[in-house]
């Protein structure tokens, strides 16, 4: 059975992104004011660019504010439950086999055969 998880940026990341977006917005206001006060050049392309600039920054600011205020994640992923089919690592298996030999639960021949089998597996 899979489990659904929602992933969201951390609060410091969201705050920093919001600060950068607001700083870029302030820069855009000053730049736009400088373009409008310059009467020697054509304003059309600059005004279009600044309109796009403010629109994109508005979306970015709304995004950061929304996720700062909500508990909802940005991305939802499904995770599979951990599998327990994987055998323990070589070290643990060899130590367990050594303990079985010391306790007298396996013979020397069984110990050597099993040890050779473990060591013969692909690492």
Helix, strand, coil percentages for the chain (3-state, nearest 5): 65, 10, 30
| Tens of pLDDT, residues 40-85 | 667 778 888 899 999 999 999 999 999 888 877 777 777 777 666 6
Residue 57: CB atoms within 10 A of its CB come to 19
Place of tokens 């609060």: 11
Q: Coil, strand, or helix at residue 79? A: strand
Would you state the structure tokens that stand for residue 88, as one six-digit string?
């323990």
Query: Which of the pair, 76 or 114, is modelled with greater confidence?
Result: 114
Q: Which residue ranges make up each domain of the chain? A: 3-79, 90-120
The mean pLDDT value of the chain amounts to: 85
Q: Contact 46/103 with Cβ under 8 angstroms?
A: no
Q: Output the furthest CA–CA distance in the chain (Å, rounded).
A: 98
Contacts of 123 (CB under 8 A, 6+ apart): 90
């Amino acid at each position: 059975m899979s489990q659904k998880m929602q992933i969201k940026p951390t609060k410091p990341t969201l705050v920093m992104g919001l600060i950068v977006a607001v700083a870029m917005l302030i820069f855009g206001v000053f730049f736009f004011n400088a373009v409008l006060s310059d009467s020697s050049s054509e304003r059309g392309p600059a005004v279009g660019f600044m309109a796009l600039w403010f629109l994109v920054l508005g979306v970015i600011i709304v995004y950061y504010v929304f996720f700062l205020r909500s508990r909802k994640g940005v991305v939802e992923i499904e995770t599979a439950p951990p599998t327990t089919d994987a055998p323990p690592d070589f070290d643990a298996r060899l130590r367990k086999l050594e303990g079985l030999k010391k306790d007298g639960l396996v013979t020397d021949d069984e110990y050597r055969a099993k040890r050779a089998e473990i060591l013969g597996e692909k690492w």
